[in-house]
Amino acid sequence: AQTVTQSQPEMSVQEAETVTLSCTYDTSENNYYLFWYKQPPSRQMILVIRQEAYKQQNATENRFSVNFQKAAKSFSLKISDSQLGDTAMYFCAFMTPLGSGNTGKLIFGQGTTLQVKP
């Protein structure tokens, strides 16, 4: 079974500092997609960053970057220069190609609640 594990239920960081959220996944697939979603108190699910497994280069989006280690099945999210607006729950998610019993669904981790302190 394909699973996603976020081992840090809660984290905190001081404003302007850097924080890294961990994510590991388990799959036998070679081609897949990985995502980080942010869920602020408003409950809206917002895509932060996306990574294709066939790309060796780590994805970046402004202050957000990932460390994708395919062999280790690890996909951590680094937030630089943390801002108060980054306070949210963060979900790591995994998607396999359609077919062979896969439905194109997103498989989510349990979430990490990040508190940015002033």
Partner 1 sequence: EAQVTQNPRYLITVTGKKLTVTCSQNMNHEYMSWYRQDPGLGLRQIYYSMNVEVTDKGDVPEGYKVSRKEKRNFPLILESPSPNQTSLYFCASSLRWYTEAFFGQGTRLTVV
* Binding residues for partner 1 (CB under 8 A): 4, 33, 42-45, 47, 50, 91, 93, 95, 97-98, 103-106, 108-111
Q: Please tell me what DSSP assigns to residue 85.
A: G
Q: How far is the CB of 71 from partner 1 (least distance, A)?
A: 23
Q: CB count, 10 Å around CB of 10?
A: 10
Q: How far is the CB of 4 from partner 1 (least distance, A)?
A: 7
Q: How far is the CB of 103 from partner 1 (least distance, A)?
A: 6
Beta bridge partners of 12: 115
79/95 with CB nearer partner 1: 95
56/103 with CB nearer partner 1: 103
Q: Please tell me what DSSP assigns to residue 28.
A: S
CA dihedral for 22, 49, 70, 5, sign (positive or negative) = positive
